[in-house]
Structure 1
Amino acid sequence: MVKWKWLRDYAGIGLGTVITALALNIFLIPNKVAAGGTSGLATVLHHTFGLPVGLTMLALDIPMFLLSLKILGARFGVNTLFGAGILAVSIDFTAPFVPVLTRDLLLNSIYGGVLAGVGMGIVFKFKGTTAGTDLAAAIINKLTGISIGQALLGVDFFVIALAGVVFGSAELSLYALISLFVTTKIIDLVQEGPSAAKAFFIMSSSSGEVADAIMAELGRGVTMLAGRGAYTKSERDVVFCVVSTREVSHIKDLVYRIDRQAFVIVADAHEVLGEGFSSPR
């Protein structure tokens, strides 16, 4: 079982890196959209000195990987080297064979960001990484105390700004920012999944009746959370349950049929595992 899980993870990392490579070669690299990361820096060097993007990325990643081992310890292992290596090979191998679909910078930024986000999301979902600026951000965090998120934003912004200076176009930097934003959003979507369910927090003076109705009419499990009003100091049960999106209207009607004064919070639940929903992998 462990062996198959190991093979599945590496197959997933490989698939994700190939998709990322296609995003770079079809949309971003040919159009000088350097959307941060070592791929962005390699794109700048490619158009300036003619260096192959994949090999340049690997040349940038390996020293950072070795430095991270020294500074951060053995936190980044085989998966990092595997992801970085496969991505570099995939970029240089597929570059001569893939078409450039459009020269429209907005289309390239959006679709390149979407496809790169799908690829990177798959890599992260299977516990992999492609090294790059996340290593640089982790090193900066360790040495300076700056948060990883701020460090990552700073590194990517530097790469995007550098591309704008080298290419002599602020417009390219603006498009690169669009691509980076799209990529990060798609990565989150791939990892968390679409909002397939809704979580309800219901505060009502008739919480027991509401809970019974949800279980009887919807067949959904309910958890009673102990709550206490900060102003009134009164204790009251909070009804918590998760339902599918198609049941949202039903549960709201049910709650307000019982208690018109109920206070209801509805939140997105991106991944729900367990009875009535998805099974754990």
Structure 2
Amino acid sequence: MKLSLSDFERRNFLVLTFAGIINAIGVTIFLAPVKLYDTGISGTSMLLGQLTPSTFSLSMFLLILNIPLFLYGLKKQGPVFTIYAIYTVIIYSIFAWLIEDVLPINVSIASPLAGTDLLLCSLFGGLITGTASGFSLRFGGAMDGIEVLAVIFSKQLGISVGAFVMVYNVILYTICGFCLQSWILPLYSIVTYMAAIKAIDFIIEGFDRAKCAIIVTDQADDICDALSKEFQTGMTRLAARGGYSGEDKTMIYFILNRFQITTMKNIIRKIDPKAYIVISEVADVFPMNQAQ
């Protein structure tokens, strides 16, 4: 029996390849030349690469530090995640090595694109590496082994995964400051970190996150008919009872985007001026196909 990759898996590997390449570009073209630091294990590898002899390269530390962490988290994360993550880190390491040691690009003392401008390097480096991390996370992998440690140990420490990563990075940048005996580069590295977080949120959640509208009304039939006719979409109705009045109500659960909010409000106010509307953001919406 032949083993073959499905179209879904091929797409994932293609995107993860792209993520590894652009992460290598962000680190080696913008961050490493001016000694700014990426986050997590990537940033740790950059620091170790600067403190050790030139025979120990960034790409080598990436593999040495990341792959054992992914293997350690195999039981927690599963084999698919581990394979995707290791593959992404290998692509990242290979292209980091190519850019630094093989291709005719001088990244030893300054960024080829931004020179020695620390603000430009930190912003663009953070945006590019954050974009790479966002794509790797969205398509089932990871760019950094610190995320595995965060998942494993955050609950034991009583903190969130995000807080664990943040604490690790604060410690990393503090160590960088003491090692360099200067706080300018670690402070700019925090700018890199913040830009990366914004880029990750953009890739994973999208620029225009979906909205969830919860409408409490006693004229549900008319409202549902009007909204369905206007937006050509369905909605969910739940029976409800007023906590103060004790009257029977209907709660309508409705997914829309930010451009539809005003139209929705106007429709509801014309039908039921007393309707209660709550609007909140949702990170993801997964429409499930009905069984054929």
Task: Give the alignment partner of residue 98 of structure 2, picking from 93, 96, 102.
Answer: 93
2:241 is the alignment partner of 1:228: yes
**What residue is the counterpart of 1:105 in the other structure?**
118
**What residue is the counterpart of 1:279 in the other structure?**
none
* 2-structure distance, mates of 1:73, 1:16: 20
Task: Give the alignment partner of residue 171 of structure 1, picking from 168, 184, 189.
Answer: 184
Task: Give the alignment partner of residue 18 of structure 1, picking from 17, 21, 33.
Answer: 21
* 2-structure distance, mates of 1:213, 1:221: 11
**What residue is the counterpart of 2:133 in the other structure?**
120
2:38 is the alignment partner of 1:35: yes
Percent identity, aligned pairs only, is 26
Aligned residues: 274
Once the two structures are TM-superposed, the CA of residue 162 in structure 1 deviates from its matched residue by: 1.3
**Structure 2 stretches of 5 or more lacking a match?**
none
1:19-60, Cα deviation, whole Å (9 max, x unpaired): 111111121111222132111112212233344211111122
Amino acid at match of 1:219: Q
* 2-structure distance, mates of 1:74, 1:219: 40
Once the two structures are TM-superposed, the CA of residue 219 in structure 1 deviates from its matched residue by: 2.8
Contact 1:164 1:173 in 2 (8 A): yes
Q: Mean alpha-carbon deviation: is it higher for 153-162 or for 18-27? A: 153-162
Contact 1:203 1:237 in 2 (8 A): yes
Equivalences for 1:137-176 in 2 at 5 Å?
A: 137-141=150-154, 147-176=160-189
Contact 2:27 2:38 in 1 (8 A): no
Question: What is the TM-score normalised by the length of structure 2?
Answer: 0.81
Call closer, same or farther: CA 1:85–1:219 in 2, change over 3 Å. Answer: closer
Q: Mean alpha-carbon deviation: is it higher for 25-34 or for 213-222? A: 213-222
Amino acid at match of 1:31: V
Amino acid at match of 1:57: L
1:151-179, Cα deviation, whole Å (9 max, x unpaired): 32222221121112222222322222222
Contact 1:17 1:87 in 2 (8 A): yes
RMSD across aligned C-alpha pairs, in angstroms? 2.7
1:253-273, Cα deviation, whole Å (9 max, x unpaired): 111122223222223345445
Contact 1:57 1:88 in 2 (8 A): yes
Contact 2:71 2:82 in 1 (8 A): no
Contact 2:40 2:144 in 1 (8 A): no
Q: Mean alpha-carbon deviation: is it higher for 94-103 or for 41-50? A: 94-103
**Structure 1 stretches of 5 or more lacking a match?**
276-281
1:89-110, Cα deviation, whole Å (9 max, x unpaired): 1111123537532222222222
2:84 is the alignment partner of 1:79: yes
Call closer, same or farther: CA 1:72–1:273 in 2, change over 3 Å. Answer: closer
